[in-house]
Chain A
Amino acid sequence: MQQTTFVSGYYLDDKDLVEGIKALQDKNIEIADVRTPFPVHGLDKVLKLRRSRLPRAGFIAGAMGTAIGFGFQAWVFTEAWPLNFGGKPYLSVPSFIPVTFELTVLFAAFALVFGFLLSSKLGPGADNVIFDEEVTNDRFQILLEVSNGNSEQLQSELQAVGAEGVQHHDV
């Protein structure tokens, strides 16, 4: 694996972080990642993150759940083993609503959660690099990728935009 190096700078306040990011963006410095202890309000807009495709995945899976849930019940009661329950029709649609609904929700929920974990490369045993353990406490960290050994330059850039502490990381 190719070795990548990063430079990180951290802030202790979310507002300062957003200002720092904006200052870096003004200088056309590409930001590799931003790591924060909680979802910072408006950060997705500043970083111009693409809107997640999870809603679509959830919708498709939910629609599948609806189709499978309803289809299976209808098949069981009209094809596989039609049984008369209290004189109700074999294809008794109102009776199929609850199970169809539950399967819709179940499928969509699974798609959302697994979609989230897969697209974020998170999961049991995921071994992501944590550059600074204080990020999950109170540090708002900006990560810049080092290319052509410009680590020192990037470090001073970060200091210039007000980072509290600056570090070099070899991965």
Chain B
Amino acid sequence: MYKSFEFTKKIKSYLLAMIVIGAVLAVAGIAMNLDHTHRIWANVLLNGFYFTAIAMSAAFFVIVHVLGESGWHTAVQRIPEAMSLYVPIGGVFMLLVLAGMHDIYHWSHTEHLDEILQGKSAYLNPMFFSIRTVAYILLWSVLVLWFRKLSLKSDSNYDLKLFNKQRGVAGVFIVLFAITSSTSAWDWIMSIDAHWFSTLFGWYIFVSTFVSAVAIVIILLFVLKSMGYMEHVNDEHLHDLGKYLFGFSIFWAYLWVSQYLLIWYSNIPEETIYYVQRIEDFGFLFYANVVINFLAPFLILMARGTKRKLNWLIAAAVIVFLGHWLDMYMAIMPGSIKHPEFGILEIGMTVFVLGVFLYAFFRNFAKAPVVPENHPYFKESFDYDNIR
């Protein structure tokens, strides 16, 4: 009834081509920037982090629906689930970042630190940082694989106990991720601007990648639908995904404003430096970030109709996906390379990592039925509708 996905040679060759093109461009970019290693490592971090965090956010999407006793999401659940399995692969890129630590994080030059950074050195030191990085990757990989295993079990064996166990794992997941999502964002991103601090930062980064994960679910749904799969996904499901994209884009803007407004208002130099740097050196991009990630999805998806039409929805999703890449760029680059740089290196690296991400997704998506048919709330997903 639900056509299972086949990872055909054709798709495989397209993706491999994408990976190769990306790799070639990236290598060319690296070759051109050998005297500029900051930029190379910053790009590894940018794409390594962005897609790993998206994979974790995709897992979070499933987990939060399990805990919220949701039924509708089961129709699309396997997409974010397969996305989440990218975590161990993305982790490899993050481990790579450790090798370039000195080029990104100036606190790692322990031999000459100022007084403030000396004060932080109990937390920000290469050893502890590496331990934390490895710990996040291991922990997250275990969590996503554990949940996936239970989810796949339900395909062959319908048992309510299994469902309860899924909820238990989801509970463990959410507690651990609630803590590590913030701390990992402090470690990997906030510490680039080592003197600067913001308590909101972890949540801000998490919501940014969460919106992006929803956007990718929509994009992948579109791709799968155009290949003739996922035909059971109807307008109501699209509407709900659209609402997520719309609502969380607004929520992202809310957090953006909260952080900006409080720092702007209090006008404490230690804090405003973060924005001063971004506005002075990245001026246009700084404002573009808000327009792309808030105004665009807000205006496109405000009407009911656009959330139910795949073409509009996909437009918003693509904008948001690219927009949050820019958001991460704005978080990472000013502290590490100081001035905006965009060229073959950035494009190549992004295409390469995106290619790997998609390859992993399709491979994992093909490994299991496209819907968890034995999920106790599965049928609910096909008999509900949104108020007009």
- Point out residues on A near B: beta carbons under 8 Å: 44, 51-52, 55, 59, 86-87, 94-95, 97
Tell me which of B264, B302, B388 contacts A94 (CB under 8 A).
B264
Is B92 located at the chain interface by the 8 A CB criterion?
no
Chain A residues closer than 8 Å to B150, beta-carbon distance: none
Q: How far is the CB of A102 from chain B (nearest CB, A)?
A: 14
CA–CA, A95 and B261, complex, Å? 8
Chain B residues closer than 8 Å to A94, beta-carbon distance: 257, 260-261, 264-265
Q: How far is the CB of A133 from chain B (nearest CB, A)?
A: 28
Tell me which of B265, B267, B303 contacts A95 (CB under 8 A).
B265
> Do residues B267 and A86 form an inter-chain contact, with CB atoms below 8 A?
yes
Chain B residues closer than 8 Å to A97, beta-carbon distance: 257, 261
Tell me which of A51, A59, A87 contacts B388 (CB under 8 A).
A51
Q: How far is the CB of B246 from chain A (nearest CB, A)?
A: 14
Q: How far is the CB of A10 from chain B (nearest CB, A)?
A: 25
CA–CA, A87 and B84, complex, Å? 48
CA–CA, A51 and B267, complex, Å? 49
Q: Which residue of A lies closest to B266 (CB)?
A: A86
| Interface residue total, chain B, C-beta cutoff 8 A | 10
> Do residues B304 and A55 form an inter-chain contact, with CB atoms below 8 A?
yes
CA–CA, A52 and B388, complex, Å? 8
> Do residues A44 and B388 form an inter-chain contact, with CB atoms below 8 A?
yes
Q: Which residue of A lies closest to B387 (CB)?
A: A39
Main secondary structure of the interface of B (DSSP, over half): helix
Q: How far is the CB of B320 from chain A (nearest CB, A)?
A: 21
When each residue 264-296 of chain B gets 1 if its CB lies under 8 Å from chain A and 0 otherwise, what string results?
A: 110100000000000000000000000000000
CA–CA, A94 and B257, complex, Å? 8
CA–CA, A95 and B257, complex, Å? 10
CA–CA, A52 and B264, complex, Å? 42
Chain A residues closer than 8 Å to B265, beta-carbon distance: 94-95
Q: How far is the CB of A29 from chain B (nearest CB, A)?
A: 25
A-B contact pairs, 17 of them (CB 8 A): A44-B388, A51-B388, A52-B388, A55-B303, A55-B304, A59-B302, A86-B267, A87-B267, A94-B257, A94-B260, A94-B261, A94-B264, A94-B265, A95-B261, A95-B265, A97-B257, A97-B261
Chain B residues closer than 8 Å to A87, beta-carbon distance: 267
When each residue 303-333 of chain B gets 1 if its CB lies under 8 Å from chain A and 0 otherwise, what string results?
A: 1100000000000000000000000000000
Q: Which residue of B lies closest to A56 (CB)?
A: B303
Q: How far is the CB of B70 from chain A (nearest CB, A)?
A: 19
Q: Which residue of B lies closest to A86 (CB)?
A: B267
CA–CA, A87 and B264, complex, Å? 11
Chain A residues closer than 8 Å to B302, beta-carbon distance: 59
CA–CA, A59 and B303, complex, Å? 10
Q: How far is the CB of B286 from chain A (nearest CB, A)?
A: 14
Chain B residues closer than 8 Å to A52, beta-carbon distance: 388
CA–CA, A26 and B257, complex, Å? 56
CA–CA, A150 and B321, complex, Å? 63
Contacts A59-B302, A95-B265 given; 14 further ones with Cβ under 8 A? A44-B388, A51-B388, A52-B388, A55-B303, A55-B304, A86-B267, A94-B257, A94-B260, A94-B261, A94-B264, A94-B265, A95-B261, A97-B257, A97-B261
CA–CA, A128 and B319, complex, Å? 50
